[in-house]
């Protein structure tokens, strides 16, 4: 039985990771995994339980004790807490401000890495985040790193009705001690400042299909009996 394929889509905030990862997953019939939502869920959990997100030890204890479950619903993996998925709650401005703090805790990143690697049991994945190709699935050959200029990324956030200091978030993510935001080794870098989601996902899909076709050819050749 072949090992499931993992498509890693990393990048900066508002670079189109979620939009394009969803489009790619739908086009290929793969399972979509939003790892950022997992960190947001922990941030929401801490806030709702009165845990100081800037207290690394307290956040670590919370991460070790909370009762979670991975569940695949409508082609998307969700991290449930006590059987509940806080889909709307994790998208608030308060949670957005708390996420960088919990995401910087080394024990949290180790816990998340284990949990995210478990997603492979659901099948082929398109996984988006900030350390998929460098830390979660560094062994995958399908790595993509999305970026756009800061002005364009701010415009995208504003269109969503969100005000966020993206430069500060990028700096926090890039300078954290464990699994910092960086371009994965061997990743295809796509600056989509001037590209639509359709154009960006088309570039990714074309590359994936070429790689899959090449892999299939190699496998076929390897299975051919030697000629006399």
Quote the domain boundaries for residue 16.
1-30+123-221
Asked whether the whole model's pTM tops 0.85, one would answer: yes
In what helix (H) or strand (E) does residue 57 lie, and over which residues does it extend? helix 56-65
pLDDT tens digit string along 122-164? 999 999 999 999 999 999 999 999 999 999 999 998 888 777 7
104-to-8, 96, 149, 175 alpha-carbon distances in Å: 20, 14, 24, 9
Which two tokens mark 87? 């889909």
DSSP 129-184: ESSIIIIISTT-SEEEEEE--HHHHHHHHHHTT----HHHHHHHHHH-SSS-S-PP
Question: pLDDT of 23-67, one tens digit each?
Answer: 999 999 999 999 999 999 999 999 999 999 999 999 999 999 999
* Cβ–Cβ < 8 Å for 59, 51: yes
- Regarding whether 166 and 111 lie in a shared domain, the answer is no
- 228 in a domain, yes or no? no
Is 108 domain-assigned?
yes
- Pair (150, 175) in one structural domain: yes
User: Which structure tokens are listed for 205?
Assistant: 């899909």
Whether residue 152 is found in the same domain as residue 97:
no
In the listed set 121, 136, 159, which residue is the last one of a domain according to the structure?
121
Note whether 142 and 185 are same-domain residues.
yes
In a domain, 60, yes or no: yes
Residues 171 and 215 in one domain: yes
């Amino acid at each position: 039985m072949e090992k499931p394929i993992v498509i890693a889509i990393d990048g900066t905030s508002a670079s189109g990771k979620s939009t394009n990862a969803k489009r790619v997953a739908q086009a290929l019939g793969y399972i979509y995994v939003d790892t950022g939502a997992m960190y947001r869920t922990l941030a929401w959990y801490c806030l709702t339980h009165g845990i100081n997100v800037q207290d690394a030890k307290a956040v670590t204890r919370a991460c070790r004790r909370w009762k979670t479950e991975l569940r695949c619903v409508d082609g998307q993996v969700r991290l449930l807490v006590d059987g509940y998925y806080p889909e709307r709650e994790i998208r608030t401005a308060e949670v957005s401000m708390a996420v960088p703090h919990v995401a910087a805790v080394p024990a949290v990143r180790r816990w998340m890495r284990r949990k995210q690697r478990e997603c492979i049991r659901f099948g082929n994945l398109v996984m988006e985040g900030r350390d998929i190709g460098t830390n979660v699935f560094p062994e995958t050959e399908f790595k993509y790193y999305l970026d756009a200029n800061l002005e364009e990324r701010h415009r995208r956030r504003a269109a969503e009705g969100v005000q966020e200091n993206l430069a500060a978030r990028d700096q926090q993510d890039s300078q954290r001690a464990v699994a910092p935001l960086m371009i994965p080794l061997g990743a295809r870098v796509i600056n989509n400042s001037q590209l639509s989601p359709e154009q960006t996902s088309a570039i990714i899909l074309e590359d994936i299909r070429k790689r899959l076709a090449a892999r299939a050819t190699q496998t076929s050749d390897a299975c051919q009996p030697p000629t006399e």
